[in-house]
Amino acid sequence: MALPSFQSPNRVLGSFCSTLLFLVSLQWRLASSALLLSLKHHHSHFHHERPMIQTNQSTCALFVGTWVRDDTYPLYQSSNCPIIDPEFNCQMYGRPDSDYLKYRWRPLNCELPRFNGVDFLLNMKGKTVMFVGDSLGRNQWQSLICMISASAPGTQTQLVRGDPLSTLRFLDYGVTISFYRAPYLVDLDVVQGKRILRLEEVAGNGDAWRRADVLSFNTGHWWSHEGSLKGWDYVELGGKYYPDMDRLAAFERGLKTWANWVDSNIDRSRIRVFFQAISPTHYNPTEWSTGTGTGGVSATTTTKNCYGETAPIAGTTYTGSYPEQMRVVDMVIREMKNPAYLLDITMLSALRKDGHPSIYSGELSPQQRANPDRSADCSHWCLPGLPDTWNQLFYTALFF
């Protein structure tokens, strides 16, 4: 059966700029001054739209910077946040080191406002925040709940887990933090026992999304799964069914379907829309190991993945491969009538080779833990950990 062909997205040349002016009075909640005055969009192979923070007489890119040690972190303890799933709960499942918890993201020439959960609840009173996507979205959802709970420990909560929708409600404030599982964003149906990935349909998922006040979408990892991990039996496109197709082309078509649906169905005067950039993986140590022992990597590193990594990569750039999917994300978001806010966490996350569960996951058997070369999880992130920074950036984008 002939497979449909797609043209690869052309690199967008030049720059696309738009300015969104805010004037927000600084209150007691800020540990440091950071006032968001404009959004500037840059495009190149490695850089995408990045909000700029104006501080004093200098500007800094929110998603460009370095990781610095800060002993006031983490913002919570995993033992005090029972919502954390076993696959993210590294401390509970035997991770012996803890320095990875002590790093704070510092954008160039500015400081992020410190996360304050009570402030978050007051600003979102009576509203719903919904994360939509795959397990990386669930990673971030649980992180945000833990961060808020640590700031407001006496607040009554109500948790309802389900599939596809799980919610936690902070009853005293009427704030709901939800996760909606939709790893492709487009619909995945089961017909006569076969899983059909419908690249041109979102309606089956989308009805639940309209009820949120803030939506944060993510997708990416499931599109590249092969073999037994492949999430579909057939891909439907243009009324035809294919056992498989070019994965980047399928991702582009599915993401365009999502973008068109958002433009046509989401009331942007009422609902804030974010898109979480591709979360990087760390399965190839040659991408960060120079053989010199720099960046927290031993010159004698012999592991085949993130196992044993205990420190971030030094500097502001990652020398390894950049997710090819991000060029598609950048293009599709720019073509939206009302572009989603791109939370561009890819590069800053790529520096955190130390932040993955590796073998310290409740999802692994003792036999799997004994074989880190084959079993280490270098895709998800420990909690507490990197997703807390994603939420600190999310908090900054929402309120400053």
36 within 8 A of 397, measured Cβ to Cβ? yes
Q: Look at residues 396, 394, 1 and name the one whose alpha carbon lies nearest to residue 214.
A: 394
Flag whether pLDDT at 52 surpasses 50: no
The Cα 30–Cα 19 span in angstroms is 24
Interval 326-336 mean pLDDT: 97
What average pLDDT does this structure show over 160-165? 96
Write down the catalytic residue from 119, 134, 135, 354. Answer: 135
| Catalytic residue list contains 135 | yes
0.75 cut: is pTM over it?
A: yes
Per the residue annotation, which of 134, 344, 354, 377 is the catalytic one? Answer: 377
Q: Measured between alpha carbons, how far is 326 from 328 in angstroms, rounded to an integer?
A: 5
Distance separating alpha carbons of residues 287 and 29, to the nearest angstrom: 39
| 289-302 per-residue burial string, b: 16 or more CB within 10 A, e: under 16 | beeeeebbbeeebe
Residue pLDDT, tens place only, 95-129: 999 999 999 999 988 889 999 999 999 999 999 99
User: Is the per-residue pLDDT at 351 higher than 60?
Assistant: yes
Find the helix or strand (DSSP H, E) in which 208 lies: helix 203-209
Q: Which two tokens stand for residue 173?
A: 């404030």
Active site residue 377: yes
Retrieve residue 386's tokens.
């990197």
Question: Which residues touch 355 (CB under 8 Å, ≥6 apart)?
Answer: 100, 312, 349, 381, 382, 385, 386
Q: Which of 349, 356, 380, 388 is catalytic?
A: 380
267 is catalytic: no
